[in-house]
A and B are shown apart, each in its own frame.
Chain A
Amino acid sequence: MTIDFWGLGLQAVNVLILVWLLSRLFWRPVAAAIATRQDTALTLINTAKATQAKADAALAEVTQTRADISSERTAVLVAARKEAEAATSATLADAQAKADALLAAAKTEIATETETARKANAAQATDLSLDIATRLLGQLNSPTVQAAFLSQLLLSIAEMPAADRAALKTDPNGVRIATPTDPGAEKAVMEKTIRDSLGDVALHFVTDPDLIAGVELRSAHFVLHNSWQADLSQVRKAVKHAA
């Protein structure tokens, strides 16, 4: 057995060359491709982790923002509720004040109307009373009553100031003697009695049923009231003044 050392050397060189060539053409490129893919995958994973972290942070921020919005909403609702309560209270107070004012005005108006009605009732009652009195007194118109009124007239003439009595005398139209009914036969007696008390003056008799009962002296500028009509008028004025 012999060994071909040329062949041994050649084969060694061949394998060395093959090692070098395959290292350049096969092992390194494929290993580099694998390493590149691993690096890329690692980069992608890191990027994904970073993105995930950003997403988590964004989610946390959104969650915080939502919590803030919720608390802000609650605060706004509380503030709005307080404002609404204040507005309601103010409105209620205003309405209460207006209602009180209206009530007071109504009370005042009612009182006024009541007073007006009372006065009207009083006036009506007065008128009614006077009408009744007029009718009743109308039935009492007798010569005795007329004689009493005549005496009263004479007394009033006597108490008149001298200036007024002189003014009656100087009236060119004379003095009218008003009676509720025609005195008839009593006319001459009455004329004499009045002339005796008043002096010489022209006297004219006039009939005025409104007097009810009594005797009055009337001139252009003077009236000496002496009748139940005048008395009732005084009563009406006094009642109205009292009301």
Chain B
Amino acid sequence: MNSPLSSIILFQIGPVPITQAVLITWGIMAVLVIGSALLTRHLALVPDKRQAMIELIVTTMDTQIRETTGTEPAPYRSFIGTLFLFILVANWSSLIPGLEPPTSKLETDAALAVLVFVSVVWFGVRGAGVGGYLRSFAAPNVAMIPLNMLESITRVFSMFVRLFGNVMSGVFVIGIVASLAGLLVPIPLMALDLLTGLVQAYIFAVLAMVFISATVEDGQPDPAPSLQKKVP
């Protein structure tokens, strides 16, 4: 068994090495894109079962975003929803024999974490302006600026480490068990790995949403203090 921390380079395009994780990611992208194109071909006013299913996915995603942020989900739906779907499909791709989920590799999880970090900056600036985004580091007071800046890095770092650790460990454990007893024994672990994959995708998406919404909210200007008459 190869080290879970190492990537298998399949071929190179010029100076760019194409690893197995990248190739599987392309496959997952193809599945998701083609599947989406097929599922959304004939959207009608009165939905059939297929349309009802995909609308249920979108509605559930909107509900989660709305409950987490308290705002309209439209600006965040594509990014958060795609993160969730990609991580979920990637985690569950371990069920296909011979495939290692891309999320079990450092590069993929780190790339997702970087995207979350960049998205926090992007949505923060778009929602509250540059000044508002910078002001979000001074919440609740200026003394917290160093800690907040450090937190903005560490929290995404913890996200990718959490995702990487859970998925990689699942794959590793199943690999070890399968090498010892390949028939039937890994099945419970694979089922558990399915649940873990779903939970980790949910956690990653929700945390990304929480970070983005917290930054946008912290960047908003403080409401004008209202004059209140003191009651003796």
A residues sitting closer than 8 Å to B (CB atoms) are 1, 3-12, 14-19, 21-23, 25-31, 33-34, 36-37, 40
Contact = CB atoms under 8 A, between A and B. Distances in A.
Majority DSSP secondary structure for residues of A touching B = helix
A27 B21 contact: no
Interface string B185-220: 000000000000000000000000000000000000
Contacts of A3: 106-107, 110
B78 A27 contact: yes
Contacts of B57: 30
Given A15-B82, A31-B77, A34-B59, A21 B29 contact: yes
A231 to B, nearest CB: 137
Interface string B7-20: 10000000111110
Given A8-B111, A22-B78, A33-B45, 16 more contacts: A3-B106, A3-B107, A3-B110, A7-B7, A7-B111, A10-B16, A10-B22, A10-B111, A11-B25, A14-B25, A15-B25, A17-B29, A21-B36, A27-B78, A33-B47, A37-B47
Interface in B80-96: 81-83, 85-86
Majority DSSP secondary structure for residues of B touching A = helix
Contacts of B39: 26
A1 B51 contact: no
Contact of A30 (B16, B44, B54, B83): B54
Interface residues of B, number: 48
Nearest to A1: B5
Contact of A12 (B7, B51, B81, B111): B111
A14 B22 CA distance: 8
